[in-house]
Structure 1
Amino acid sequence: MFLNVHSSYSLKYGTQSINQLIATARYLGIHQMVLTDINNSTGAVEFIRECYKQGVAKEADDIHKGNIPYQIKPVAGIEFRIGNRLLYVGVAKNREGMRELNSFLSSHNIDNIPLPEIPPAMENVYIIYPFQKSFNPILKANEYVGIRGKQLNLLYRHPLLAQKEKLLVWHPVTVGDKITYRLHEYLRAIELNTLLSKVSAEQKCDPDEFLIPEVELTQQFEQYPFIVQNTQKLINSCDLSAYFEDSAVPRSKNKFHYTKTGVEGDKKMLRRLAILGLKYRYGENNEEALKRLEKELRIIELKNFCAYFLITFDIIRYAMNKCGFYHVGRGSGANSIVAYCLRITDVDPIDLDLYFERFLHEKRTSPPDFDIDFSWDERETVQKYIFKRYPKWHVAFLGTMSTFKDRAVIREIGKVLGLPKGEIDSFTDPAKERENLLNATYQKLLAVHQYMKSMPNQRSIHAGGILISQHPITYYTALDMPPKGFPTVQWDMYESEAIGYEKFDILSQRGIGHIREAVQLIKKNKDKDIDIHDFRNFKKDQKLNGILKEGQPIGCFYIESPAMRQLLKKLKCDNYLTLVAASSIIRPGVASSGMMKSYIERYHAPDKVVYLCEVMKEQLNETYGVMVYQEDVIKVCHYFAGLDLADADILRKAMSGKYRSKLAFDELVNKFFASARNEGHSEELITEVWRQISSFAGYSFSKAHSASFAVESYQSLYLKTYYPMEFMVAVLNNYGGFYSRWVYVHELQKTGARVHLPCVNHSDEVVNIKGEDAYLGFIAIQGLEEKIIKKIPQERAANGLYRNLEDFVKRTCISLEQAIILIRLGALRFTGKDRKTLLWDVHNYLGFKQKKVNHAELFKLSYKTYKLPALADSELENAYTELELLGYPLNYKMFDFLKTSYRGDVMAADMHQYLGKTVRMVGNYVCEKTVHTIKHTKMWFGTFLDVRGDFFDTTHFPNTTPMYPFKGKGCYLILGKVVEDFGFQSIEVLKFAKLDIQMNPVAIN
């Protein structure tokens, strides 16, 4: 009877979740509802599914007691609006009707066309217009008019009575009660970016738009019973039961097959490709690999996952063969030997003892997916290929749904209440939390936020998830067109999984860009071809492992951060397996739980490790009895407790918080204990093993994921070790990594490269290198316009080197302001003139208004020249200019800015000689990290370079830092105690001060 129900997916309008709506309807005894959210169908399938699920008896005992829950009949549609103006509501008769509605809305979203006043013909859709006093249309067969109870008095002698079969009961539902109506008003004010008091009646719903008992609703229309009958007849004719799947595992909605011959063709093709790949990866007659391959293929076929593998293979093949792109396949997909053989991943699951069950097994209910990384500037090409490869409406990006949980929403609530900015700022300052809790206004803001925090706020686009559907996706959702430019579904990955879609994650990272460009530069600069996939030899290279052990892999993916460098030194990491472990234990959860410290201790004293039992020793010997990976949880559950691998993975997933059924989880826990007892273990031992599993599982990280990271780290490390100049140029051109740009320029200089300031006759948009000469690119110059950045190298390539300043100005049509930037930075030094002389000259050319000439000169015109006196130029002044325009001085160290010549008593390389002693050091600030202690105080970790260019690290405890704070980039005098932790030296800071610098000569003058 309720034809126009809004959920909270009517963003910043509706106030109730799907479950709240259903719960309220059941409480009121309502039997039918039509969910019609505004310009979206985000919650349609969820609504249908939940209505049917709640109508099914959960326990056999319910049937005996007669407590069989009744079923609310779910119907869905879409309410169409332009701004605040309601146009009409579309109600789907059936599944085809939902597709028609979704396709209609999608077309307008994608093509950015306003919705029409009258919708097009839709065979399986009812269209309902809102009643108006002067409304008298000629209605089509599927068109109706909805009238509210309070509008019935307007029906007297109304022309619509001549079409009385077209009149329907109209009772919109938007809020739950008076409290949530107030919440609705806040939401509207936030949406409209106005004060709460300025939201007009037309911009919000009526206060009575909440669910009421069906009897009460029909009583409003007792003088017009035909309206109730019309409404009932319409709802009775709708049937969306096709959307409900009475199964815990929904049928896959992905493309069913890749080959034209269907499922059997997919099986044959996948097997053929896997066998070919097996020979490439393992050579001939590797029985162990073949056995593993056959086992995986059986499960892949059983779970109808062949097409998923083949579509992923097709994407990889296109990227590698057609585009020459480099990729990294990571995540749990790296547990698969089939993926390894298809070159989806580069991780050998046999070498690392990775379980396929971590990725896919017979009992898995949620679909797994591959994470495929491409370079940041190549991913879009791959995405475009996918959208071109598959038909319209069959491919779309996955959406995301952000909520109001972010405390920044308090700022929005404060704004709509009209609070002054200063007061709002104080309410969002974490340091004033305790004080604010005593403030009545702040308490009001918190109360509103409490109601709002779990509500959907806005739809967006997933980082890289793409859906490829067998049937049009518009059966399940309308599509948006975000700024990214690809059609996007209106729900997130959780709803996608519930419906039955497996996503294809096409992601990006800059580390891949470093590797790709370094290989290209090595070919160009040294004429050498690098097989960057020759990982088997990389991991055996003693030179690479030696650099790992030293903990100085600046620029290398995932292993260059201060925390990772420290960990590598503490572990004296000199091999692949240790790096895999380090990639896992560096994660915040593992580190904060104390497991990282425990692992390091056991790593250095393996003979002293006491294992709980022989099984635990056998399974965790590689990690010294510490469960480092998710796979360790699976191993212990399987080999210690006797669970099969499928149940072991389900239990692992459940403990990570990704399992929704507490009842099913409790059954698995009981099964673990019962099975472990059957294995003959004591109750005390079982309890302790379970304690360790349950305390770790939530922090655990996939070994396959760590292994993928470690492979990429080794590839970066290989390039940096043997081709350091080209590698560091590639890092700079892909916008660095963990550190600021100047750190990578410093590393490039350390390789022996001669790094030059930008030059109009040698530089390109980005850094280039020829031999040992590297020229910084124009793109890094602050204030330089993009058109000039592109124009300078393009014009030089087309017409040769610039001959002088006059020639440069004429050929580039540069403005005075842009020319000054280049001259100040020395980019026209090829002229042989100093910067100040060039500044005089450029004003001679451009310092007065000229009429622009749009054609080439017939005769060369010369300008008058003047003989200038010698102009003073200082190295310090130039360094300040570089600091201003590049963000760092190139050939003038930060230490040289200091007023003092003191550079510290101790250098970083000598710290090991001063253990336990208090020393004074001078360091150039690199970065800092803030952490919160268990006592809810803050402490800091700093990273610095000494005057020789070596890194050292500092620890700033809560009791010292407030007196001696960080003050941004520059050089600091550090007084502290040298301490050592597993061979890694650092400074515990006692006093800390930023040193004064010399004034810029320009400022003095």
Structure 2
Amino acid sequence: MSFVHLHVHSQYSVADSTLRIAGLVKQVAAWGAPAVALTDHDNLYGAIEFTLECKKAKVKPIYGCCMAIASRPIGEHVRRVHHITLLAETNEGYQNLIYLISRANLDAPSGGHARIDWQTLKAHSQGLIGLSGDLAGEVANALLRGELDDAYRAAERCRSWFAPGCFFVEVQRAGLVEHDTVMPQLIDLAQQLEIGAVATNDVHYLHPDDARAHEVLVAVGLGVQARPENEALPTTQMDLASPDQMRARFAGYEHLCDATLAIAERCNVKLELGKSLLPRFPVPAGQDEQTLFASLARQGLDTRFEEFAVIGKQVDQDQYRQRLEREIGVVVKMDFPGYFLIVQDFINWAKRNQIPVGPGRGSGAGSLVAYSLRITDIDPIPYKLLFERFLNPERVSMPDFDIDFCVDRRGEVIRYVAETYGTDRVGQIATFGTLKAKGAVRDVGRVLGVPLPDVDRICKAMDVALQGREEDHQGVADAIAADPRLQQEMDNSPLVDRMLRTAQSVEGAVRNVGIHAAGVVIGRGALWTHVPVGKGAGGENVTQFDKNDVEKAGLVKFDFLGLKNLTMIQHCTKLIRDGLAAGERPFDLGQVPLDDKKAYEIIGLGDTAGIFQCESSGFTSMMVALKPSVFEDLIAAGALYRPGPLGLGMHTRYIERKHGREAVKFDHPKLSEVLAETYGVIVYQEQVMQVSQVLAGFTLGQADNLRRAMGKKDAAEMAKWGEVFKAGAVERGVEPEVAHGIYHLMAKFAEYGFNKSHSAAYGLITYQTAYLKANYPVEFYAALLTADHADTDKVVAYIQQARNAGLSVLPPDVNLSKLSFSVVAGQIRFGLGAIKGLGEGAIDQLLTARNAGAFTSLFDLVGRVDARRVNRKALEVLIKSGACDSLGQPRDVLWSNVSRAIQRAQDEQRERDSAQVSLFGALAGDAGAKRPDSYAPAEIAWTQREMLANEKEVLGFYVSGHPLDRFARELQRMEVRSLATLKDPEFLKNAPTRQRPGLDGAPGPKRTHAHAAVIVVQYRERPINDGRRMGICMLEDRSGQAEALCFDDDAKYTKLLSSDAPLWLRLQVGEDRREEGKVALRIEEAQLLQDKVAENAPRLNLRLRHDQCTPKFIKDLQDLLIAHAGPAKLTVRLTVAGLGEVDIEAGPRFRVKADDDLIGALERLVGRTTARLG
């Protein structure tokens, strides 16, 4: 006999199950069971996956949920909730189930668990079967408490909520003592009350062996320690037991197992998937969606013609109108006008409210209707963009506009949509975060009590082992296989062994539920009439289905993407407009012509920092070789710079043919009509469609079907369309062999061809950013730094690049800086918003207070701001950053006076308050009088190194100086080269070099050697051949940054390279084998710079004033010098007031080790800039 599991938790019962749906259904099908239920806690996250897996395995899905039910109405305080298991018997029951789940989640108290009350359940129980629940069910719980009467009353009450015959007493026997206690009582209760009873297993894992991993996963979710492995678990029987095992557990009570089959037979829910339910657009009275859509499209095209006239763009208006009418006809025929109306409405609302919107994304940029409605901003006709690539009249599928918005204001557009269509009809989409390899190890290690250093060490080893591997080979097992040291760790430690074994079991489990970054859905009615709904952290509706499942369920998804580059462009254009003189023509980036030579030149020179799409080294190298000169080159570049085309060398062929170094060939003269713009190379998917149209007479709808078949490598479809293509081509005079060859060429490249519409739209953003950088560099860099202020690495690079371009970047200043980076007299002023640890509230308060005048001192600043917003931490951050330097005191003095300034501000406030409440307040004139500023000396003097370290801590980099500055004079004598010099291929070209022959006897890469003084800003390792490791260092000096490699042979330098101390390096400088025209650096020797300087500088120069030389000071100085004894001579330059300076040579007793420690100690004792090597 069979058995149907009716109480099953999958991994979507987050942190409470290790069971995957695919494994569940596969196992059930293997047993030949007719059905299985899915009853996760308070959700239907897995319902669509469950449906599809069951359909594939020919197993009936039973949709259910284990829900928490409260005895009092939601909103009232409830001390206790109980579990109840709900199963959908009919489609109406399924609708009631998703409503109940939605209400349970949406009405849950903030931070509380989802639950429903019995009144809501009773009102929506039609079509549902209720089971009394597990041990936390009200009936079983009352029996465990020994309250028999309560148990009977609870069972009667539960039965009353459901239709007759739709409530069952749930009996479990999963190895717990409590199960054996209540089982006979539950069976007796069911008989006494004439309620049906049914056997279930509280399934949480697939096999009994998974019980330990499940216990660890639960501990991770609860944040508690897991049991030691030698301690017995309460049970290992919450597994997906076989029908025979279940009948054995319920021996003597087989009727309870038979009841599972009867219930399964009753449950017959049919979900209709894949049918889109388009929301309706609110149209004015007397109109419908079709007429409004057509009218707006025609009006929009007329407006575009007017704009063309302003910029002198001449077009064939008849051509545009004919294409528009054709597209309108297709949209109307496919019943999509409402979709277009919805999208144009929220996009145009955003534009009216100055929210930047991208020019287009995806195949939608090929639609003239979209361009006319201002959904997109790239004219598809000049660039031969195809509407049928977006919407194919011969294949019904939903249109899909992905829209880029300003990343900072995307939320405003979503709020507008919710207000327009109703908050109950609009929601965002769930996304499921799963445990990745390292995350699983860290979580498991924490609950198993593995020492954190051991976990860190293993995770670091995993990082190295998994680097560069494909995404589907990034697991714990892959890391162990790749690095024998991990297996050795397991062999040496039972605890580490358990951690890594368990991590493999829980890896991939759902760890948390979040919100999709872009997806928004709009329902025809309330969302919960379509899908189950949860609640986001901000109270927003969130579908319980992910982006794929929500569309299968019928909801239409709109992607609201945030693109930082749009935010940057808007900020840049605002800075440009703010800097225009009165009467100058307003700046409009949308009207800038696409033929600016400087824009193309800057890309072709490789100056691509901040230019959209172009910043990677590979893309930059391609653009340097390409030397783009027209907009079509930018479109092609976006399509060519992808793994497929790069692997086939398509980019090289395009570049060589563009510059005339390779002949342009066409296999048939008619191909020139389509491929001339890409020099005979098939670059775009649209070209495959156009070749089919021109050569074989395909309609563009047929051509799109062929493109899809080729892109998906669908052999059957390709064979079918191949015959049609060849027949059509031959009919039009193409030789059969030529037709065959062209078709195979198309098939080869179609797999890698890119969507031209998307490439054109993104190419426009590329051009716009290049134009701004080439023509408005100060505003461009200020906007770029603002957009990336949170990314320290990028800010460091951009500031250096701005300086290399001759631009000045000024440090932050409480009196001059704005929130963002700003432009002041042709210079870039650091923004307060880029200071780490300084919140927006503090910045708002500073800027507001500053409106009354500049701050004159620290005491003045603290006295004028709200201390709750500009608190001690904010003041200390400001001082560290150098933003308070304009207040007239050194940073160490300001730091030491923060408490005094806060105390004085509090005292003055008390005096003001006292004066206000005094009967004679009007006469208390002294109460509000300003006291003179009185700074105490610095408690601890900051050395130059400490000051710069503090600056880097809060800014992420150095602005007012650099750790190498204090070695400037010494470095001039040491013949070190700047990184900028070493990276320049001209250095290698002009330096004495050597070339070792390669294995084939050919000359190897040129190499030379040079010295550099640097700091290491990043150090990481990765494995290379034969188990060796390679260190990758990012070096920095005053001229910029450069990457250098370090190999196992040089491992003795690893500790130095992992420090932040200034270093002297001996570098091998050679031709980069990976990128032609680039230079590669290898570290061959490393030494602390202070030690190298000391070797080369036999003298320390110390400046003193005569008035400093008290007996105590002289003793302290002598003690300090003796403590740092070494080989360097000491010269003291003593300044005597009125007499001048005298140099004193110290005796052999005071020779010193002239290192960083001594110089820092001297600066603290004597004062900054008093000690120098010379």
Query: What is the TM-score normalised by the length of structure 2?
Result: 0.72
SS across alignment from 2:610: coil
Note the C-alpha offset of 1:963: 9.0
What CA distance in whole angstroms lies between the structure 2 residues aligned with 1:448 and 1:693? 49
What CA distance in whole angstroms lies between the structure 2 residues aligned with 1:975 and 1:149? 72
Identity %: 25
Contact map agreement 2:201 2:238 (CA 8 A) in 1: no
Match of 2:971 among 884, 892, 900: 900
Note the C-alpha offset of 1:577: 1.3
The residue type equivalent to 1:87 in the other structure is H
Match of 1:271 among 294, 298, 307: 294
What aligned pairs does 1:877-892 form with structure 2 within 5 A after superposition? 882-892=951-961
Equivalence for 2:1101: none
Contact map agreement 1:911 1:985 (CA 8 A) in 2: yes
What aligned pairs does 1:271-670 form with structure 2 within 5 A after superposition? 271-282=294-305, 286-364=317-395, 367-404=398-435, 406=437, 408-413=439-444, 419=450, 421=452, 424=455, 425-426=457-458, 428-431=462-465, 433-436=482-485, 439=488, 456-483=510-537, 485-527=539-581, 530-534=586-590, 537-592=592-647, 594-605=649-660, 607-614=662-669, 618-635=673-690, 645-646=700-701, 648-650=703-705, 652-653=707-708, 665-670=714-719
Match of 2:761 among 660, 684, 708: 708
Equivalence for 1:107: 103
Partner deviation per Cα, 1:246-272 (whole Å, 9 max, x = no partner)? xxxx2212314453679x822212212
Equivalence for 1:66: none
Equivalence for 2:1148: none
Note the C-alpha offset of 1:464: 0.5
Equivalence for 1:68: none
Note the C-alpha offset of 1:219: 8.4
What CA distance in whole angstroms lies between the structure 1 residues aligned with 2:248 and 2:333? 52
Note the C-alpha offset of 1:372: 1.3
Equivalence for 2:195: 165
Note the C-alpha offset of 1:711: 1.0
Partner deviation per Cα, 1:252-306 (whole Å, 9 max, x = no partner)? 12314453679x8222122122222222334686232223323322332233222
1:188 paired to 2:218: yes
What CA distance in whole angstroms lies between the structure 2 residues aligned with 1:170 and 1:838? 71
SS across alignment from 2:332: helix
Contact map agreement 1:923 1:973 (CA 8 A) in 2: no
What CA distance in whole angstroms lies between the structure 1 residues aligned with 2:627 and 2:1053? 33
Equivalence for 2:848: 794
Contact map agreement 2:1013 2:1089 (CA 8 A) in 1: no
1:976 paired to 2:1069: yes
Match of 2:86 among 81, 90, 101: 90
Equivalence for 2:75: none
Equivalence for 1:988: 1080
Match of 2:278 among 254, 258, 261: 254
Equivalence for 1:4: 7
Q: Highest relative contact order (Cα 8 Å, sep 6+), 1 or 2?
A: 1
SS across alignment from 1:244: coil
Equivalence for 2:64: 77
Contact map agreement 1:35 1:75 (CA 8 A) in 2: yes
What CA distance in whole angstroms lies between the structure 2 residues aligned with 1:116 and 1:298? 49
Note the C-alpha offset of 1:339: 1.5
Equivalence for 1:146: 169
What CA distance in whole angstroms lies between the structure 2 residues aligned with 1:884 and 1:738? 11
Equivalence for 1:37: 40
Contact map agreement 2:17 2:204 (CA 8 A) in 1: yes
- The 3 A distance-change label for structure 1 pair 787 and 211 is same
What CA distance in whole angstroms lies between the structure 2 residues aligned with 1:760 and 1:838? 14
Greater CA radius of gyration, 1 or 2?
2
What CA distance in whole angstroms lies between the structure 2 residues aligned with 1:887 and 1:362? 54
- Deviation larger for 965-974 or 128-137: 965-974
Partner deviation per Cα, 1:653-673 (whole Å, 9 max, x = no partner)? 5665xx6xx9xx221122244
- The 3 A distance-change label for structure 1 pair 303 and 392 is same
Equivalence for 1:60: none
Contact map agreement 2:364 2:370 (CA 8 A) in 1: yes
Equivalence for 1:779: 833
- The 3 A distance-change label for structure 1 pair 827 and 451 is closer
SS across alignment from 1:270: helix
Contact map agreement 1:329 1:372 (CA 8 A) in 2: yes
SS across alignment from 1:856: helix
What CA distance in whole angstroms lies between the structure 1 residues aligned with 2:402 and 2:816? 40
Note the C-alpha offset of 1:312: 0.9
- Deviation larger for 845-854 or 986-995: 845-854
Equivalence for 1:58: none
- Deviation larger for 546-555 or 170-179: 170-179
The residue type equivalent to 2:431 in the other structure is T
Match of 2:272 among 239, 244, 250: 244
What CA distance in whole angstroms lies between the structure 2 residues aligned with 1:448 and 1:865? 63
What aligned pairs does 1:870-881 form with structure 2 within 5 A after superposition? none
Note the C-alpha offset of 1:605: 3.4
Equivalence for 2:1142: none
SS across alignment from 2:556: coil
The residue type equivalent to 2:64 in the other structure is G
- Any gaps of 5 or more consecutive residues in structure 2? 71-79, 134-138, 174-179, 309-314, 466-479, 914-926, 994-1007, 1091-1155, 1165-1174
- The 3 A distance-change label for structure 1 pair 890 and 323 is same
- The 3 A distance-change label for structure 1 pair 756 and 417 is closer
- Any gaps of 5 or more consecutive residues in structure 1? 56-71
The residue type equivalent to 2:570 in the other structure is R
The residue type equivalent to 1:286 in the other structure is Q
What CA distance in whole angstroms lies between the structure 1 residues aligned with 2:205 and 2:887? 74
Contact map agreement 1:845 1:863 (CA 8 A) in 2: no
- Deviation larger for 381-390 or 288-297: 288-297
What CA distance in whole angstroms lies between the structure 2 residues aligned with 1:940 and 1:339? 51
Note the C-alpha offset of 1:500: 3.0
Contact map agreement 1:732 1:744 (CA 8 A) in 2: yes
What CA distance in whole angstroms lies between the structure 1 residues aligned with 2:960 and 2:234? 62
Contact map agreement 1:977 1:989 (CA 8 A) in 2: yes
Note the C-alpha offset of 1:435: 0.6
Equivalence for 2:1136: none
What CA distance in whole angstroms lies between the structure 2 residues aligned with 1:409 and 1:981? 35
Partner deviation per Cα, 1:421-476 (whole Å, 9 max, x = no partner)? 55554363544723157556688877766665565444322110111111333244
- The 3 A distance-change label for structure 1 pair 305 and 944 is farther
| Root-mean-square deviation over aligned CA pairs | 4.6
Contact map agreement 2:820 2:831 (CA 8 A) in 1: yes
- The 3 A distance-change label for structure 1 pair 942 and 20 is closer
What CA distance in whole angstroms lies between the structure 2 residues aligned with 1:946 and 1:218? 73
SS across alignment from 2:6: strand
Equivalence for 2:132: 129
